[in-house]
Each structure stands twice: as structure tokens, then as C-alpha cells.
Amino acid sequence: MIDLFILAIVIALIIIFMGLRIANQYQRAVVFRLGKLKGLRGPGLYWLIPFLEWQKTVDMRTITASVDQQETITKDNVPVKVSVVIWYAVTDPIKSVIEVKDVDRAVIQVALTSLRNIIGRHTLDDVLKEQERLGTAMRQVIDMATEPWGVKVTRVEMRNVEIPESMQRAMAQEAEALREKRARIIKAEAELEASLKLKEAAGVIMENPAGLELRRMQMITEVGAEQNTTTIIMMPSEFVSMAGGIAEWAGKANKKIND
């Protein structure tokens, strides 16, 4: 009798230890009993009925998934190769187990379909310049599709966009033409501003002719500083006429003295 009692205790202890389970803080266990959902267990220590209950452990942490590079066509018929990265997390472990067979694979497939659809509705310029906006739109589409599975998509980013080599050359030529255009516009604006300043300076000199003489003297000083061998000084016609008058007066005076 005692032996049977000890044997029963041993069997009971074995069954108890066989049913013990531990789930980490970031894990939840979806428990089934004879194929029927019984609920969630964890985190921490819990017990399952051996041979009658089984579990499916779900990771609640954010998962980073890289979608393989996909070749698709933009709205303006340019073939591009795009790869994206998705951040998502399971918010409802029961739905992620019951509603879909492989939740991770399902999210990736939805991302592939959404990527092709969104790229096909935008031009190449949008794909290259508005990657953040397209990533937000893609996240909304994927999140709406995965919500019934208990999955929350938190972020989607385009990691790489490849375009044909011929298109790269065309874009490089376009960029070079735009840079040349900007350079010409800046040069024209500089010339216009310089001409306006010269016009203002001419107006000031016309109001005060002495300013012209000061400017001429300054030019002579600058030319002399360059150590040129020959310096040509341009004198105003008034100075020449005055010098001629003085010479004529001096000649007449000298003639009178001699007479």
C-alpha cells in the first residue's frame, strides 16, 4: 500500500514537472487544449496539462524584416529595383496564431505587393525625391492589411533604389544643364547689378565733375603702383585749352619786353 502511494506521488511529481513552462518578459504563449483555444500564458512560470495542452510561443518584440529587392515599373514606365525594410510587432498573439499560418511570411508578402502597387502609381522623380512620403504611404497600406492578424507596422523605409544606367546618364546630363543654367543666371544678375552701380556712379560724377578728376588721379596712382614702363595720362580738354592760353599770353608778354 505504501509502495503504491509513493509511486502515485512520484507520477504526480513527474506530471507536474512535465507541465511546467517559463515565458520570458517579451513572450506570450497561446495555449490550446485538445485543439481548442484556452487563452494566453506568461510571462513567467505557468503550467500546462501534459498530453492535453500544447502551446505556441509568440515574440512580442519589434521585428526588423528586409524585403528582397524587387524590380517594378514606375508610372512613367521606368524600370527600377527597390528594396525596403519593415519594422513591425505582434500586438495580439492569439490573432497572429489563429488568423494566419505564418505571420512573418505573410507580412513580407503584403509588403511586396504594396511596394509594387505604390511604385506603379508614382513617377521616377517621386520615387527618388519623396521616399519618406512613399514609405509612410506603404506603412499605412501594410498596417491596414495586417491589422486582422494582430500585427502593427510601425515603420517602412526604402533602403535602396536602383535605376538603369542609361537613365543615370540622362539624369547626370540634366543635372549638369541645370547647374550651367543657374551659373549663367547668377552671372547675368551680377552684370545687371554692376551696370546699375555704374549708372549710379555716372550720375554722381555728372553732378560733380571734380569727382571725375579724383577718379582719374586714383587710376593714375593704381597704374603707377604696378611698375609699368610707360604711363599715359589723359588730360581733360579744359586743361589743354588753359595751357594753350597761358602759352599764348606768355609769348605776347615776352615779345613786348623784347620790343
Q: Tell me: do 154 and 171 sit in the same domain.
A: no
Q: What are phi and psi of 211, to 5 degrees?
A: -60, -35
251 lies in some domain: no
Q: Tell me: do 73 and 118 sit in the same domain.
A: yes
Least confident of 60-64, 135-139, 155-159, 168-172: 168-172
Q: Which of 110, 136, 163 is the last residue of a domain?
A: 163
Domain of 176 in residue numbering reads as: 165-199
**What is the band of 191 on the pLDDT scale with cuts at 50, 70, 90?**
confident
217 lies in some domain: no
The span from the CA of 221 to the CA of 53, in Å, is 105
Least confident of 104-108, 144-148, 221-225: 221-225
pLDDT for residue 170: 64
Q: Tell me: do 13 and 99 sit in the same domain.
A: no
Q: Which of 145, 177, 199 is the last residue of a domain?
A: 199
The span from the CA of 174 to the CA of 163, in Å, is 15
pLDDT tens for each residue of 192-245 = 887 777 777 667 666 666 565 666 666 666 656 655 556 555 555 555 565 566
pLDDT for residue 177: 73
The span from the CA of 198 to the CA of 100, in Å, is 79
- The more confidently predicted of residues 161 and 109 is 109
Chain mean pLDDT for the chain: 80
253 lies in some domain: no
The span from the CA of 148 to the CA of 158, in Å, is 25
pTM equals 0.62
Q: Which of 33, 58, 83 is the last residue of a domain?
A: 58
213 lies in some domain: no
Q: Tell me: do 149 and 81 sit in the same domain.
A: yes
